[in-house]
Amino acid sequence: MDTQDHHHHHDHHHGQDPPSDLALRVKALESLLVEKGLVDPAALDAIIETYEHKVGPRNGAKVVARAWSDRAYKARLVADATAAIAELGFAGRQGEHMIVVENTREVHNLVVCTLCSCYPWPLLGLPPTWYKSSPYRSRAVIDPRGVLAEFGLILDDEIEIRVWDSTAEVRYLVLPQRPKGAEGLDEEALAALVTRDAMIGVAMVAPPMAPA
Amino acid sequence: MNGAHDMGGMHGLGPIAPPANEPVFHHPWEARVLAMTLALGAWGKWNIDASRHQRELIPGPDYLRMSYYEKWLTGLIDLAVGAGLVSWTEVDSGRPAAASVRAHPPLTAERVAAVIGAGGPATRDVAAPRTFAIGETVRARTINPIGHTRLPRYVRGRIGIVERDHGVHVFPDTNAHGLGERPCRLYGVAFKARELWGQTAGARDSVHLDLWDAYLEPA
């Protein structure tokens, strides 16, 4: 709890302009751009609506659930992820060139962008703050086990870790292991199990809750 | 450039401390910065490599101190002024100059879904040599360009194996500086964790990067 409180504090106040000041600067810039006819305020609203409500990790979860349910789809997904993902209607900005890496009992994959914040937007939406933060970007490549431990994921030493540093316009999605106890679930129920963090590789997909 | 952004392998930058149930935007202004960056980009005055480089040019101490969207705001203003879309006087006052003629924004609300859905592929349908074969051992070149590069310091001089041919992609090192796309072959290259970090790294672990032809030499 302490660390989370500290992080919250850090995000908002540590060593930067007070948020109200930034908010004012942004407001002034927007009104300038609108007055000069450089941006359409309704277009700004539409972009925000897209990434706040339409495009997010539920898209990626559908891809994962399909791969878990359909062997032929999974083969296509691993062979040509961009095309297989487009079959489900997901494509576009920051997902133009996709690679899917599969977790197994022997191999665990983890995605990072050490140089900036590259992330598969059409499948996961915009990246969370921690993904874009210096602590994650700096340490994911040198100490993946330590990083995963901070997310509460302790991997056996025998498991091979592959870290994918997104240095070009290729974007990576982790295909998590299907959890035990998920047999017989349909795609929608499977998709409901899949989390954003599991598709970045900082978590496993938890088994479904036993029916009450 | 060997800037603060090239941080792969650094220690001491603090705990990750991921919060539970984080919202997409922490403040409404963050959403406006993201949207303005996309909307102003539609003028075609700069490309994605130039906008990344602009954020890298934020002085190191500020880069490490600023929040993510504060860096985006800083980079956006610098780009817009550099491209002549706005002047510093206008940014400081928040008002258009007296002689300013009202423009027509290229990205309208009706076009947003189509533009986001189309994206901007980095592949180019041109011939480019395939210098390295899949399975070949290569060394990442030791270079220290003062401009934009996507070759992180932590792999320079290290030996890896080519594991994938991604085709021909725009070369960021020139594209960021208005020197042309100069598309060339992009490879997926695997580096053993111990090659990068020494014997304390996991024996089976590896780090994989996407690297352009010009970043590599035969090993």
**pLDDT tens, B95-139?**
999 989 999 999 999 999 999 999 999 999 999 999 999 999 999
Confidence bin at B20 (pLDDT 50/70/90): confident
On whether both A46 and A111 belong to a single domain, the answer is: no
Nearest CA to B73 among B104, B35, B109, B47? B35
Question: What is the pLDDT at residue A185?
Answer: 95
Residue B150 has its nearest CB partner, among A31, A144, A167, at A167
Q: Do A96 and B116 touch (CB under 8 A)?
A: no
Tokens describing residue B38 = 């996309």
| Amino acid code (one letter) for B212 | W
Does the structure show a pLDDT above 80 at B75? yes
Position A16 scores a pLDDT of 54
Residues contacting B190, CB < 8 A, separation 6+: A162, B160, B161, B163, B206, B207, B208
Radius of gyration of chain A (CA): 19
Q: Same domain for A148 and A67? A: yes
User: Residue A124: phi, psi to the nearest 5?
Assistant: -120, -5
The pair of structure tokens assigned to B214 is 């010009």
Whether B150 and A162 lie within 8 Å, measured CB to CB: no
Is the pLDDT at A17 greater than 60, yes or no? Answer: no
CATH assignment of the domain containing B209: 2.30.30.50
What residue in A sits closest to B2 (Cα-Cα)? A115
Same domain, B143 and B212: yes
Instruction: Let me know whether B108 and B42 are in one domain.
Output: yes
Mutate to test the interface with A, among B78, B90, B104, B116 (most CBs of A within 10 A): B116
Mean pLDDT, chain A, as a whole number? 91
What is the distance of C-alpha A93 from the center of its chain? Answer: 14
Pairwise CA distance, residues B66 & B56, whole Å:
12
CB contact under 8 A, A157 and B202: yes
DSSP conformational letter for B213: G
Confidence bin at A188 (pLDDT 50/70/90): very high
> By percentage, how much of chain B surpasses pLDDT 90?
97
Kindly state whether residues A156 and A89 are assigned to the same domain: yes
Q: Within this chain, do residues B109 and B34 fall inside the same structural domain, yes or no?
A: yes
Task: Name which of A5, A29, A50, A93 to mutate to probe chain B: the one with the most chain B Cβ atoms within 10 A of its Cβ.
Answer: A29
Pairing assessment for the beta strands B184-192 and B206-212 based on DSSP bridges: antiparallel
Is the distance from CB of A101 to CB of A175 less than 8 angstroms?
yes
Query: From CA B101, how far away is CA A7, in angstroms rounded?
Result: 45
- Say if residue A83 is in the same domain as residue A103: yes
Domain that holds residue B169: 137-218
A190 and A148 assigned to the same domain: yes
Number of domains in chain A: 2
The domain tally of chain B equals 2
Mean pLDDT confidence for A147-175: 97
Cβ contact B105–A37 (<8 Å): yes
Domain containing A131 equals 56-200
- Read off the CATH number of the domain in which B97 is found: 1.10.472.20
Q: List, for residues B144-190, the tens digit of each pLDDT value.
A: 999 999 999 999 999 999 999 999 999 999 999 999 999 999 999 99
Convert the pLDDT of each residue in B174-187 to its tens digit: 999 999 999 999 99
